[in-house]
């Protein structure tokens, strides 16, 4: 069979997928770019060309800079916590103890729980009047009065981060555990014989095996966290006083609540650009980590 026919056949087999992807991703993306240079409304007017007005308005608005800071803070803290807790949990699950198989099985539960159900569950736990957190903390005499965890700008973002971590650290743990199980036993045994302490064994023997998979998990989780919408929408809708508003929620408000499709589109593209820059920087880092670990 000739190479050209093989290639032609491959393209023919890919054609249905590519056509659909152009229809539901390619075209909308191009159209978002077009819209971002207009003052189009979501419904009604097609809008006029306004040049870079939308971009300059968005980039100079205090809403944007404040939301960028909130989103970055959410992403950095929740992903860092998920990575640390996830690796610690994986190290634990790699020890031998009774009930280990059951505990490993439980780790799939938070991951399988739908994001919206997770958000609803934590919203109920944080409820200012009847929530379990207030009840538990008062009954243990840790706090005196019930507090509105999601209703105060000082605690709302932290409360969201805890809820996000609870759902996502088990995935990091499962990825890290799979990598730990790939560490050859004779290598750790040899390090032990050579007198390496627990910290040195982790740093020099185990961590090189973990680095690659953890970098991939870090990249995926950071991109997800930067795009965050669902959990915040269900728990706080970006409030109180916009203290938990993420970039995706700001785009939603601009394009759908205020129906300003043009400026919403420009904001969406700014977010896309930020995520892309992040992803490309990370990809370079992954390649470097993979290279040095090999």
Partner 1 sequence: MERKNPVFTAFVYVCAILLAAVILAPLAWLFVMSISPAADLAAKPLRWWPQAADFSRYAQLLSTAENSAGAAFTASLRNSLEVAGMATLAAILLAVPAGWAVSRTPSVGWSLSMVIATYMLPPVALSVPLYMGLSYLGLLNNVFGLAMIYLTILAPFTTWLMKSGFDSIPREIEAAAMIDGAGLLQTWRIITLPLAAPVVATSALFAVLLAWDEFFYALLFTSDQRAKTLTVAIADLAGGRVSDYGLIATAGVLAALPPVLIGLVMQRALISGLTSGGVKG
| 286 is a contact residue toward partner 1 (CB under 8 A) | yes
Span 216-235, contacts to partner 1 by CB under 8 A:
216-217, 223, 226-227, 229-230, 233-234
Question: Concatenated DSSP letters for 3-33?
Answer: HHHHHHHHHHHHHHHHHHHIIIIIHHHHHHH
Cα–Cα separations (whole angstroms), residue 232 to 38, 71, 85, 134, 240: 29, 11, 22, 21, 11
Tokens for 285, please give them: 């880092």
Whether residue 268 contacts residue 227, with contact meaning beta carbons closer than 8 Å, is answered with no
Q: Which position among 61, 138, 148, 242 is part of the footprint of partner 1 (CB under 8 A)?
A: 138
Residue 96 to residue 252: CA distance in whole angstroms = 48
Q: Which position among 69, 143, 187, 189 is part of the footprint of partner 1 (CB under 8 A)?
A: 189
3-state secondary structure 198-233: HHHHHHHHHHHHHHHHHHHHHHHHHHHHHCCCHHHH
| 68 is a contact residue toward partner 1 (CB under 8 A) | no
Residue range at the interface with partner 1 (CB under 8 A); choices 53-61, 75-83, 118-126, 150-158 = 118-126
| 279 is a contact residue toward partner 1 (CB under 8 A) | yes
Minimum CB separation from partner 1 for residue 194, in Å?
14
| 21 is a contact residue toward partner 1 (CB under 8 A) | yes
Residue range at the interface with partner 1 (CB under 8 A); choices 56-64, 76-84, 152-160, 170-178 = 170-178
| 140 is a contact residue toward partner 1 (CB under 8 A) | no
Minimum CB separation from partner 1 for residue 73, in Å?
18
Between 60 and 129, whose beta carbon lies closer to partner 1?
Answer: 129
Size of the site for partner 1 (CB under 8 A): 98
| 114 is a contact residue toward partner 1 (CB under 8 A) | yes
| 77 is a contact residue toward partner 1 (CB under 8 A) | no
Tokens for 64, please give them: 């944007």
């Amino acid at each position: 069979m000739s190479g050209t026919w093989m290639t032609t056949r491959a393209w023919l087999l890919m054609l249905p997928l590519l056509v659909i992807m152009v229809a539901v991703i390619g075209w909308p993306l191009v159209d978002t770019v077009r819209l971002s240079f207009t003052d189009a409304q979501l419904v009604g007017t097609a809008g006029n060309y306004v040049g870079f007005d939308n971009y300059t308005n968005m980039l100079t608005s205090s809403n944007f800079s404040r939301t960028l800071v909130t989103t970055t803070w959410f992403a950095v803290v929740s992903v860092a916590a998920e990575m640390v807790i996830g690796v610690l949990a994986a190290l634990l699950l790699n020890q031998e103890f009774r009930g280990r198989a059951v505990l490993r099985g439980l780790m799939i539960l938070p991951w399988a729980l739908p994001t919206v159900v997770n958000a609803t569950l934590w919203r109920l736990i944080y409820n200012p009047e009847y929530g379990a957190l207030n009840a538990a903390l008062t009954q243990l005499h840790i706090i005196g009065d019930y507090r509105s965890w999601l209703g105060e700008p000082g605690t709302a973002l932290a409360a969201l981060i805890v809820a996000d971590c609870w759902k996502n650290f088990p995935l990091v743990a499962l990825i890290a555990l799979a990598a730990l199980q790939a560490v050859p036993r004779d290598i750790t045994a040899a390090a032990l014989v050579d007198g390496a302490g627990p910290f040195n064994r982790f740093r020099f023997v185990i961590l090189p095996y973990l680095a690659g998979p953890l970098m991939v998990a870090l990249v995926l989780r950071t991109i997800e966290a930067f795009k965050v919408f669902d959990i915040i929408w269900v728990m706080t809708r970006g409030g109180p006083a916009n203290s938990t508003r993420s970039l995706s929620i700001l785009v939603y408000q601009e394009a759908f609540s205020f129906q300003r499709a043009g400026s919403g589109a420009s904001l969406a593209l700014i977010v896309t650009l930020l995520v892309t820059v992040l992803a490309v920087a990370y990809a370079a880092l992954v390649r470097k980590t993979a290279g040095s670990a090999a």
